[in-house]
């Protein structure tokens, strides 16, 4: 139940989310995987939307060169752990917000533990190796995975629902080279905001999700496109092969 | 000569490019190809017309950069016949390098 104070806090969004929707968010737990440009934007918007639990995972410390875009950090924070700091900065947005910082690198070995109890995973990583690990964990847990990535003025978002839609590998079968890409807070803000919008819709079962689609943002031309991505029958992760495997297991 | 040209069946496909590829060509263009044209041949046609695309799509040895997404009606040609994938009439071909940063 929402308290009278919480009802007052959310009075401007209950017309679109409903009080029951707001309660669903209060009961929902989200893993923000990464606390960089995307992750800081995502964590903040999750807290303000009213998610009950926000777990933030990042193994890095804050550096000066992060401060053009990682909007939860300030100059005196340089050297601190990102996840710790991000959690500290979003605390107190709602009276009930439960925050957890995970200061370790995400691996195949620890990902199931790291995603335990989560209702949704939001991708704020800077590399596809870890994105695939998280996407696989989301699939194993049967929870949505909201993919997001940026590159300078460009960005992309896709929502994957295990067993129902194209998986991350269908959408990006071969990752781009792992380099330090240009990054702008205006772009991470846009992409992170779209990811949180998807997360809210997933939890509330509202609207149309970015499933079997990839949204492409081009800030340089101020254009947004969504392109269809057909789930692949041949895809070992979301296609026929997996269905067969699941059936064989039964 | 002219008869031969007429005999080869022409068809139109739509090519959409995104992100960095926009530096070299319009977002959406109609391309006329001959029936039986493969994805590889289409890419060569495009790079001939827009030489800047070459380095975006192919490495120094002329091999397609694996990470460049090339979708034929939403299906990545990586899962079809790769560069040998036959392009068909009215196909929508989307080409873009995925973003990777966070
Ligand atoms: Zn798949």
Contact B74 A227 (CB under 8 A): yes
Residues of A in contact with B78 (CB under 8 A): 173-174
Token code pair at residue B95: 């080409």
Q: What is the ipTM of this complex?
A: 0.91
Q: Do B102 and A148 touch (CB under 8 A)?
A: yes
Q: What pLDDT band is residue A233 in, cutting at 50, 70 and 90?
A: confident
Check if A151 contacts B (Cβ < 8 Å).
yes
**Do A174 and B97 make contact, defined as CB atoms within 8 angstroms?**
no
Residue of B nearest to A40 (CA): B102
Opening angle at CA B18, ends A174 and A124, nearest 5:
55
Are the Cβ atoms of B100 and A149 closer than 8 angstroms? yes
- Encode pLDDT of A82-135 as tens digits: 999 999 999 999 999 999 999 999 999 999 999 999 999 999 999 999 999 999
Taking CB atoms and an 8 Å limit, are A154 and B99 in contact across chains?
yes
pLDDT tens over chain B, length 102 residues? 455 555 678 999 999 999 999 999 999 999 999 999 999 999 999 999 999 999 999 999 999 999 999 999 999 998 899 999 999 999 999 999 999 999
Percent residues over pLDDT 70 in chain A: 95
Chain A residues whose beta carbon lies within 8 Å of the beta carbon of residue B75: 230, 232
Would residue B101 count as lying in a domain?
no
Q: List the structure tokens of A162.
A: 């295990």
Judge whether A158 and A227 are in contact, CB under 8 Å: no
Kind and range of the H or E element at B70? Answer: strand B69-72
Q: Residues 6 or more apart from B74 whose CB is under 8 A from it?
A: A212, A227, A228, A229, A230, B92, B94
Ligand 1 centroid–CA A166 distance in Å is 5
Say how many Å lie between the CA of residue A244 and the centre of ligand 1: 14
CB-CB under 8 Å, B98 with A156: yes
- Using one digit for the tens of pLDDT, what is the confidence trace for A138-167? 999 999 999 999 999 999 999 999 988 999
d(CA A46, CA B40): 44
Half-sphere exposure of A142 (CA within 13 A, CB side): 1
Strand, helix or coil at B35? Answer: coil
Q: Residue A237: is its pLDDT beyond 80?
A: no
Per-residue pLDDT tens for A7-31?
999 999 999 999 999 999 999 999 9
Give CA–CA dist A83/A134, Å, rounded.
Answer: 17
Kindly state whether residue B102 falls inside one of the protein's structural domains.
no
pLDDT averaged over every residue in chain A: 95
Q: According to the model, what pLDDT value does residue B1 have? A: 46
Q: Locate the DSSP E strands across chain A.
A: 29-33, 53-57, 98-102, 120-123, 145-151, 154-160, 213-218, 223-228
Short-list B87, B94, B93, CA closest to A156: B94
Question: What is the number of domains present in chain B?
Answer: 1
- Residue A20's nearest CA partner among A209, A204, A207 is A204
- What CATH number is attached to the domain comprising B49? 3.10.20.30
Q: Going by DSSP bridges, is the β-strand pair A98-102/A53-57 parallel, antiparallel, or unpaired?
A: parallel
Distance CA A24, CA A153 (A): 34
How far away, in angstroms, is A207 Cα from ligand 1 center? 23
The pLDDT value given to residue B4: 54
Determine the distance separating the centroid of ligand 1 and the alpha carbon of A231, expressed in angstroms. Answer: 6
Residue whose entry in the numeric block shows the structure tokens 């939860």 = A72
Is the Cα torsion angle A231, A25, A90, A59 positive or negative in sign? negative
Domains, chain A, in order of start with CATH, read 4-249 (3.40.50.720)
For B75, nearest residue in chain A (alpha carbons):
A230
What sign does the CA torsion over B57, B61, B62, B68 have?
A: negative
Tens-digit pLDDT profile for residues A202-218:
999 999 999 999 999 99
**pLDDT greater than 50 at residue A33:** yes
Distances (CA, A) of A205 to A17, A21, A140, A144, A236: 10, 9, 21, 12, 27
Instruction: For residue B50, give its domain range.
Output: 2-90
pLDDT digits (tens, 9 = 90+) for A83-96: 999 999 999 999 99
Token pair 């005196």: residue: A76
Which of chain B's residues have a Cβ under 8 Å away from the Cβ of A182? Answer: 101
Residue B95 forms part of a structural domain: no
Give B100 Cα–ligand 1 centroid separation in angstroms: 18
Q: 3-state DSSP call for residue A94?
A: coil
Give contacts of B 16-55 with A, CB under 8 A. Answer: 16, 18-20, 22, 27
pLDDT of residue A22: 98
CA distance A152 to A214: 18
- Is B99 among the domain residues? no
């Amino acid at each position: 139940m929402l308290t009278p104070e919480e009802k007052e806090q959310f009075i401007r969004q209950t017309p679109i989310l409903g009080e029951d929707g707001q309660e669903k968010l209060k009961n929902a737990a989200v893993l923000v995987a990464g606390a960089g440009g995307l992750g800081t934007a995502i964590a903040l918007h999750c807290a303000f939307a009213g998610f009950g639990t926000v777990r933030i995972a990042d193994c890095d410390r804050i550096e000066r060169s992060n401060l053009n875009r990682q909007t939860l950090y300030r100059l005196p924070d340089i050297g601190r752990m990102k996840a710790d700091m991000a959690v500290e900065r979003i605390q107190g947005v709602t009276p009930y917000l439960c925050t957890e910082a995970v200061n370790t690198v995400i691996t195949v070995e620890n990902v199931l533990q790291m995603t335990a109890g989560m209702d949704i995973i939001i991708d704020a990583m800077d590399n596809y190796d870890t994105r695939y690990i998280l996407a696989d964990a989301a699939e194993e847990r049967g929870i949505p995975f909201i993919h997001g990535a940026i590159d300078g003025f460009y960005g992309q978002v896709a929502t994957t629902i295990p067993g129902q839609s194209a998986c991350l590998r269908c959408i990006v079968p071969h990752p781009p080279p792992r380099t330090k890409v240009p990054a702008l807070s205006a772009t991470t803000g846009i992409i992170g905001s779209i990811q949180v919008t998807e997360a809210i819709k997933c939890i509330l079962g509202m609207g149309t999700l970015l499933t079997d689609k990839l949204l492409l943002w081009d800030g340089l031309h101020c254009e947004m496109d969504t392109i269809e991505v057909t789930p692949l029958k041949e895809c070992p992760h979301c296609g026929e092969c997996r269905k067969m495997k699941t059936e064989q297991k039964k | 000569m002219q008869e031969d040209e007429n005999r080869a069946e022409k068809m139109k496909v739509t090519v959409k490019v995104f992100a960095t590829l926009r530096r070299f060509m319009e977002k959406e263009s109609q391309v006329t190809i001959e029936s039986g044209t493969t994805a590889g041949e289409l890419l060569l046609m495009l790079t001939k017309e827009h030489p800047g695309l070459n380095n975006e799509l192919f490495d120094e040895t002329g091999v397609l950069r694996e990470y460049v997404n090339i979708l034929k009606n939403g299906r990545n040609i990586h899962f079809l016949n790769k560069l040998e994938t036959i392009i068909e009439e009215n196909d929508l071909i989307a080409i873009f390098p995925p973003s990777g940063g966070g």
